[in-house]
Amino acid sequence: MVKLRNGGKAGIVMKIGVLALQGAVVEHIRSLELAGAEAVAIKRVEELEGLDGLVVPGGESTTIGKLMRKYGFIEAIREFSAQGKAVFGTCAGLIVLASEIEGQDEAHLELMNMKVQRNAFGRQRESFETDLNVTGINEPIRAVFIRAPLIAEVGEGVEVISTYKDEIVAARQNHLLACSFHPELTDDYRLHAYFVDMAREAAAGRS
């Protein structure tokens, strides 16, 4: 049993889904629970009903995209976002949210106005950890990069909230959030808490 951080204090507990087609699902569920949310694994589109937010985890974006098409998640998540519900893409999830993928004709959800480059840090090091400053979070957060993408360009409405060596590694567009790294692989759940707050703001805006 995980203790809820905001349980009583912040009022209603946000219900956040983690898309469970492929990738790091259990770790996101744990971080979301530490951040005070109720977290559930989502395998079918019907399960999006009643959620306040959705995490699209890391893994392999081509595989996740393929499975999303197969199970009807592309239209369903676009509709979910159109209702103003919060969506958070991490690593491969960031790629899935982008409107454009460098070197590929087709993108996936096309929800966030940005162009991404896959495996952008691969030539330097396959994976690494670092501390990153994120706008809206007081102290630097611990970030794990694994064959990570970067955000090559952002369009209108997208706010850059973190950079690493001058490259964009996290961004926000209203109720949409994306990061290049894996925030679920450390004990530092503050980016999840940031997202749960976004979901709460979005829910307040809908009611």
108 lies in the site for ligand GLN, by CB under 6 A:
no
91 lies in the site for ligand GLN, by CB under 6 A:
yes
d(CA 121, CA 78): 29
Structural tokens at position 68: 């999303």
Q: How far is the CB of 48 from ligand GLN (least distance, A)?
A: 22
Say if residue 31 carries a ligand binding annotation.
Answer: no
DSSP H helices, the chain, are 26-34, 61-70, 73-82, 92-97, 190-206
Say if residue 127 carries a ligand binding annotation.
Answer: no
Residue closer to ligand GLN (CB basis): 51 or 120: 120
Residue closer to ligand GLN (CB basis): 80 or 121: 121
Q: Among the options 27, 91, 179, 192, which is catalytic? A: 91
d(CA 56, CA 31): 14
Nearest to 63 by CA among 75, 50, 77, 73: 73
Say if residue 147 carries a ligand binding annotation.
Answer: yes
Residue closer to ligand GLN (CB basis): 53 or 149: 149
d(CA 97, CA 107): 8
Part in contact with ligand GLN (CB under 6 A); list of ranges 14-22, 29-37, 71-79, 90-98: 90-98
Sole binder of ligand GLN in the list 43, 66, 142, 147 (CB under 6 A): 147
Fill in the DSSP letter of residue 187: S
Nearest to 190 by CA among 129, 131, 141: 141
Nearest to 138 by CA among 190, 198, 199: 190
Q: Among the options 28, 33, 175, 184, which is catalytic? A: 184
List, as residue ranges, the binding site for L-glutamine: 59-61, 118, 146-147
- Which residues have a catalytic role annotated? 91, 182, 184
Which residues would be at the binding site for ligand GLN (CB under 6 A)? 58-61, 91-92, 95, 118-119, 146-147, 149
